């Protein structure tokens, strides 16, 4: 049997134990895991250095190496993340509904773990720990498949965590790491119907596309975000400028950052030049529609391909639109149903925008950068769903649960 299948079966067997653990048992396991990470930080940093050196010798970019790097400080932060999860309410075992039927059967709907969760992700080793913590807290088990760039780090982290679990009621097999760095191990995970209950991809557009295109296991699609800010005619200039600037520049590499700014033509006539200067000063490369280029000579021409690209970088498309309708239709055509914003003082326009835009999070007068489990107060986040089934938007612990109907009778049969 392959490594992937073997480990998925171990995770499935463990799930029959983890789904019955009490909140206290699960929290104890998380606390032990957090302590072990810090106690073994030297060994983890050693393993991480091997990944870094290997990456550097392969010419990996410094920004990617930075995301990959673990320090004592970062490990402390990751351990602290686990301890935060302990403080969150356990979403498993809740009585969600209860009703009696005329024939006397009693029906209860309770929350249960999903079962075995497959996580497929890229270079950040913090995802290894976060995902482990979130999955175990919710009584699930997890099969982790991180990027090969972080393999030594992930291997050491999972070794430390599994070893820590030996002293707890949580089976070590609840935590599985696929070490096969070949793409075929991902492909195999995607077809493990009957072993994996869901696969959650986290990473860039091509990773997510591969999962969505090839999985026969249910998937929660996450992350890809082509987000827009629409500045309406009535927008307050200072507010609009701050929100748009924040959405693009505060952290361009993330999914809730803005890729395209839509500007009402009346607002553009008065303010687009000044707005563009602010972006140019922050070394944002501008691409624009013809009307934008008339006002902002520095902008290159934006193509439909540009409007359809998640740059995750200091690049911004700007398009001048006639009115709210044109903004809505641009978003309907190019948006990825993630986060969209209108800046306006016109309440009717805000209401229409929030009603008509089909996205996980629709903002009025606030930056799209708030689409995040922590910013929403969930205390944790396993990802941001951009699909409409099961969970949409930032996913906290409840997104990792399913339900089950328990029916009690005294001999009822169907007539």
**From 96, 105, 282, 297, residue interacting with its own copies (rule: CB under 8 A):** 105
| β 141-145/175-177 pair status | parallel
What residues are paired with 97 via a beta bridge? 109
For residue 291, the surrounding DSSP H or E stretch is helix 290-295
115 lies in the binding site for its own copies (CB under 8 A): yes
Of the pair 35, 236, the CB lying nearest its own copies is at 236
CB 117 within 8 A of CB 196: yes
Contact set for its own copies, span 331-350 (CB under 8 A): 332, 350
Build a one-symbol-per-residue string for 20-39: x at contacts with its own copies by CB under 8 A, - elsewhere: x-------------------
314 lies in the binding site for its own copies (CB under 8 A): no
33-68 b/e (C-beta count within 10 Å ≥ 16 → b): bbebbeebbeebbebbeebbeebeeeebeeeebebb
**From 77, 89, 290, 409, residue interacting with its own copies (rule: CB under 8 A):** 409
DSSP state of 193: B
Stretch that binds its own copies, among 83-91, 164-172, 301-309, 367-375 (CB under 8 A): 367-375
Burial class (CB in 10 A: 0-12, 13-18, 19+), 213: exposed
- Residue 132 phi/psi, 5° resolution? -60, -50
Question: What DSSP line would sit under 86-128, residue for residue?
Answer: HHSPP-TT-EEEEEE-TTS-EEEEEEEE--EEEEEE-S-THHH
Contact set for its own copies, span 222-241 (CB under 8 A): 236, 238-239
Stretch that binds its own copies, among 124-132, 210-218, 266-274, 317-325 (CB under 8 A): 210-218
Contacts of 5 (CB under 8 A, 6+ apart): 188, 192, 195
For tokens 């972006």, the residue is 279
278 lies in the binding site for its own copies (CB under 8 A): no
Of the pair 114, 316, the CB lying nearest its own copies is at 114
Of the pair 95, 301, the CB lying nearest its own copies is at 95
**From 2, 5, 6, 16, residue interacting with its own copies (rule: CB under 8 A):** 16
**Least distance in Å: CB of 393 to its own copies?**
5
219 lies in the binding site for its own copies (CB under 8 A): yes
For residue 70, the surrounding DSSP H or E stretch is none
Binding residues for its own copies (CB under 8 A): 16, 20, 99, 101, 105, 107, 112, 114-115, 193, 197-198, 212-213, 216, 218-221, 236, 238-239, 242-243, 245-247, 250-251, 332, 350, 354-356, 358-367, 369-371, 375-377, 387-390, 392-393, 402-414
């Amino acid at each position: 049997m392959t490594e992937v299948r073997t480990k998925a079966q171990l995770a499935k067997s463990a799930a029959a134990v983890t789904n019955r653990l009490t909140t206290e048992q699960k929290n104890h396991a998380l606390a032990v895991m957090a302590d072990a990470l810090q106690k073994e930080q030297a060994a983890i940093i050693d393993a991480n250095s091997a990944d870094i050196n290997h990456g550097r010798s392969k010419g990996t970019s410094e920004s990617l190496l930075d995301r990959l790097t673990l320090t004592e400080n970062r490990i402390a932060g990751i351990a602290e993340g686990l301890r935060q999860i302990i403080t969150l309410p356990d979403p498993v075992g809740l009585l969600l509904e209860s009703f009696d039927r005329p024939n006397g059967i009693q029906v209860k709907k309770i929350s249960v773990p999903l079962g075995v969760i497959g996580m497929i992700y890229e270079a950040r080793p913090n995802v290894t720990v976060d995902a482990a913590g979130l999955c175990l807290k919710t009584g699930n088990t997890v099969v982790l498949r991180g990027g090969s760039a972080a393999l030594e780090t992930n291997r050491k982290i999972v070794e430390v965590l599994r070893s820590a679990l030996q002293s707890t009621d949580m089976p070590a097999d609840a935590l599985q790491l696929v070490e096969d760095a070949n793409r075929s191990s991902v492909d195999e995970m995607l077809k493990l119907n009957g072993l994996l209950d869901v696969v959650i991809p986290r990473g860039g557009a091509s990773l997510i596309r591969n999962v969505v295109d090839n999985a026969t296991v249910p998937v929660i699609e996450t992350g890809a975000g082509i987000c827009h800010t629409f500045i309406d005619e009535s927008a307050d200039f200072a507010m609009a400028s701050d929100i748009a600037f924040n959405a693009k520049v505060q952290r361009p590499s993330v999914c809730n950052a803005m890729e395209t700014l839509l500007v009402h033509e009346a607002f553009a006539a008065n303010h687009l030049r000044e707005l563009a200067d602010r972006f140019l000063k922050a070394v944002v490369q501008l691409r624009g529609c013809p009307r934008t280029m008339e006002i902002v000579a520095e902008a290159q021409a934006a193509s439909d391909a540009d409007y359809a690209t998640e740059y995750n970088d200091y690049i911004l498309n700007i398009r001048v639109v006639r009115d709210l309708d044109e903004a809505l239709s641009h978003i309907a055509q190019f948006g990825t149903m993630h986060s969209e914003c209108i800046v306006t003082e016109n309440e009717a326009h805000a209401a229409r925008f929030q009603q008509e835009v089909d996205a996980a999070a629709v903002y009025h007068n606030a930056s799209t950068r708030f689409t995040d489990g922590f910013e929403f107060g969930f205390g944790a986040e396993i990802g941001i769903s951009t699909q409409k089934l099961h969970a949409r938007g930032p996913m906290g612990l409840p997104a990792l649960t399913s339900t089950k109907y328990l029916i009690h009778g005294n001999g009822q049969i169907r007539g």
